[in-house]
Amino acid sequence: MKISVLGAGPWGLAIADLLVNKGYSVTVWEFDENICKTLQTERKISSKLPGYKIPEEIRITNDILEAVADSEIVINAVPTQFIRSYFDKIRDIDFTDKIVVNVSKGMEVASGKDIRELFISEFDTITDDNFVIVAGPSFAIEVALNKTPTAVVAASKNIEAANFVRDVFSNEYFRVYSNDDVIGVEIGGSVKNILAIAAGVIDGYGLGNNTKAAMLTRGLAEMIRFGTEMGAKRETFSGLSGIGDMILTCNSSLSRNWQVGSRIAKGEKVPDIIRNMNMVAEGVETCRVVNRIAAEKNVCMPIVSMVYKVLFSGADPKASITELMTREKKVED
């Protein structure tokens, strides 16, 4: 089977490594020609996956048509806000007999669309029958370098497609479950990144376990509230792409979104943090979209709102926490 991975970042390479080790023919597309040449010759990205060597069996190319044209599975690993940038290059590809798998997380700021909506609205031959999302608690470096036991979920409105991807991706250290709630899986993977920024703020201030537990619990309530309003199944958020991914991302300094919150608590300015990061923190831009949609749909999300104000309105994080704690009292939901 021929598989292409669009995006040579840490997660794209981790997935490529997983698949080539299963015997598939894997080609990775890197959009930057100079970076592509470096990856082809040096076979590493030390700044993002320190200690990892790209197997020689993984082909790396700057030609996206070469990567996609004869692939049976096309995997998007490009960060959400940049996905649309390559659409015109593959506009004439017929995806009818291909499975499109997304492994990025978030929602597009410009349109407010999740990634499934983005692909389906732009390509006539990408539909709910051949679109799958893979998400769950998984850091790229642990999958690529350490190959530690990891569990994720493959979701599609076409459960047969989800099951197919589940079987292709699964091995002795990477266990994949399947379900048909693609909306819930996408929203869980998006909102947890916003909550991870809040978690980083809490840890950056050293506020302790009580505060973190309260934020995680009430953050999950916001995730469920938002997700069910968008058409997701409530039970999905009790699974790997919901609470599972939230536990991982909110409790580790490996999380880019956690790092943003921690650095904010230490007094750094948001534009400086974003400019100096060597990887994309999806939660920052996703927060714009979720906060906007929540306001439009009258979904109560006070933690997300607080993160938005800190990120984009210059709100003081400590004052925002006090504001959350002293809101009008209510029954737990």
Torsion over CA of 138, 143, 144 and 147, rounded to 10 degrees? 170
Helix (H) or strand (E) holding 39: helix 33-42
Cα distance between residue 216 and residue 247, in whole Å: 8
| Ramachandran sector of residue 206 (left: φ over 0; alpha: ψ -120 to 50; beta: rest) | left
Alpha-carbon gap, residue 277 to 273, rounded angstroms? 6
Q: Is 172 helix (H, G, I), strand (E, B) or coil?
A: coil
Strands (E) in the chain, as ranges, are 2-6, 25-29, 59-61, 73-76, 99-102, 131-135, 150-155, 174-179
Catalytic option among 192, 266, 318, 329: 192
Q: Which two tokens stand for residue 322?
A: 């006090």
Residue matched to tokens 């409530």: 234
Strands 59-61 and 25-29: parallel
CA atoms of 97 and 112, how far apart (whole Å): 28
Closest residue by Cα to residue 287 from 214, 200, 203: 200
Rounded CA-CA distance 119/106 in Å is: 13
Separation between Cα atoms, residue 150 and residue 278, nearest integer Å = 25
Q: Is 192 marked active-site? A: yes
- Residues classed as catalytic: 192
